[in-house]
């Protein structure tokens, strides 16, 4: 992904959380995005060792930083984490005005970790210390992992049940094919 990629152009200057279809179902049920301190299945193998998990905060991406910092490595370190949910990733864009007061910057998360080794995506990963209500959601971006240039946007506080059912069905078919079932 580069700075001209359609998905990046859509996400630039935005604050968001990335999740799987199954995890979104739980978020919808609870009405909140909650920190994962081991109480939910981890979406990424590295999540267990993440600074967000160790600090007990919600991992978010903040693309309101200079482009040179977003693309500090090639491929960008955040790319595989952002789109790690196969076959579909749900990106939840958040309205800054609802949560910016308590947002924990990358620098503060890094400092808070101290000498404890943990994973933190440079410059763009930030944290939030408490559950985020779905009223803070601006939009949902549904991304196909195989082709991130193909994505759909759904405005509103919740993804429709019909769309969620289709995404779950697609995920089941994908994993059946992968597992040879």
Q: How far apart are CA 12 and CA 29, in angstroms?
A: 29
DSSP 8-state code for residue 104: B
- What domains, with CATH codes, occur in the chain? 6-179 (3.90.210)
pTM: 0.84
DSSP 153: E
pLDDT in tens, 45-56: 556 678 888 889
The lowest-confidence range among 25-39, 59-73, 116-130, 143-157 is: 143-157
Cα dihedral sign, 66-70-72-75: negative
The mean pLDDT of 88-110, rounded to a whole number, is 91
């Amino acid at each position: 992904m580069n700075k001209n990629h359609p998905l990046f152009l859509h996400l630039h200057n935005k604050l968001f959380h990335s999740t799987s279809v199954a995890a979104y179902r739980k978020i919808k049920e609870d009405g909140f995005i909650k920190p994962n301190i081991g109480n939910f299945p981890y979406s990424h193998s590295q999540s267990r060792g993440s600074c967000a998990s160790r600090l007990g905060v919600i991992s978010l991406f903040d693309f309101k930083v200079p482009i040179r910092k977003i693309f500090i490595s090639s491929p960008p370190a955040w790319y595989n984490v952002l789109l790690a949910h196969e076959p579909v990733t749900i990106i939840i864009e958040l309205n800054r005005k609802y949560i910016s007061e308590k947002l924990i910057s990358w620098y503060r998360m890094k400092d808070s970790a101290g000498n404890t080794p943990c994973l933190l995506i440079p410059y763009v990963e930030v944290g939030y210390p408490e559950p985020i209500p779905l009223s803070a959601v601006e939009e949902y971006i549904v991304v196909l992992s195989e082709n991130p240039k193909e994505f759909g946007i759904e405005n509103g506080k919740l993804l429709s049940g019909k769309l969620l059912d289709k995404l779950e069905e697609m995920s089941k078919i994908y994993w059946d094919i992968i597992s040879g079932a």
